[in-house]
A = this chain, B = another copy of it.
Amino acid sequence: MKNLDICLLLDFYGDLLSDTARENITLYYNEDLSLAEIAETAGITRQGVRDSIKRAEEQLIKFEEKLGLAKRFTSMQDGIQEIKIMLEDIKHDIPEHSSRVEKIISKADEILLLNRE
């Protein structure tokens, strides 16, 4: 689990959390609010927020342990990056066909963007 950070897991499995839990952990990780700031908005104690985030993290990690979809995605993404590098090399070495190779590189970029919707 060390290689996949909570932000990624939140992107993947956040919608399986309860509304409150998702809200707190999103404010903390994606909006970079402090525990104190979240506590004030949510009207609970700082410790309450900390516990809620901790529980949400544990749930996200458990979802990934069960499903492994973030890891699958990351591996696919890494593979597509490798393909891009190989294509850039070919584009460089065979300039007369660079526009065709360029089209495939654009397609690869499109696929990488799917991962960020």
Contacts and interface: CB of A to CB of B under 8 A. Distances in A.
Contacts of A108: 79, 83
A86 B104 contact: yes
Interface in A49-87: 63, 66-67, 69, 72-73, 75-76, 79-80, 82-83, 86-87
Interface of A: 12-13, 15-16, 63, 66-67, 69, 72-73, 75-76, 79-80, 82-83, 86-87, 90, 94, 97, 100-101, 103-104, 107-108, 110-111, 114-115, 117
A105 to B, nearest CB: 10
Given A72-B114, A115-B76, A86 B66 contact: no
B107 A82 contact: yes
A79 B16 contact: no
A72 B16 contact: no
